[in-house]
Amino acid sequence: MRHCCDRLSSVVEAGGSSVQFDSVYREYRVEILPKAFWIDLSFCPFCGAKLPDSLRGDFFVVPSPDEKKRLSALVGGCKGRAELIVKFGNPDFVYAPHHSADPIFGGTISCRSGCLYKNLSTTAVVRVEFTEDDSIARIAIESKCLRPDNDGT
């Protein structure tokens, strides 16, 4: 991959820098918090050149309105975490409730516990968030990422 200038090339190719290049999505970004928060770059921080458009959109399939309805009804018919597992098996990813400092605006970002099912649909990932007593708080039907190294999170 050719980058816009030698300085950007040397920084992204050396690795370990906070300026990173994702060759799959063709995106440049600055790491604000290690492995946690990035900002995409539109222009080279060294020479000011416009950077190429991201290919990220090419890696997502979007569920149809009918598929969203089908999945919402399927998952929404469950009362809580235990029933989901009985019906659909263990989710592909589980996350605990967490709180973290907001690096940009200050304050705290809070997330409920939740899980992801990646294989209930060919075009969607189903994200379910739970209340403290494991009832379903929210169901989100999200676009599915087809990136080969994507972990779905």
Of the candidates 130, 135, 144, the residue with the CA atom closest to the CA atom of residue 67: 144
Smallest distance from the beta carbon of 3 to Zn ion, in angstroms?
7
Smallest distance from the beta carbon of 115 to Zn ion, in angstroms?
42
* Residue 4 vs 140, nearer CB to Zn ion: 4
* Residue 39 vs 85, nearer CB to Zn ion: 39
For binding to Zn ion (CB under 5 A), which residues are involved? 4-5, 8, 44, 46-47, 49
Question: Which amino acid is residue 99, in one-letter code?
Answer: H
CB atoms within 10 A of CB 72: 14
* Residue 12 vs 44, nearer CB to Zn ion: 44
Characterize the bridge pairing of strands 60-61 and 37-40.
Answer: unpaired
Whether 9 and 3 have beta carbons less than 8 Å apart is answered as yes
Smallest distance from the beta carbon of 75 to Zn ion, in angstroms?
46
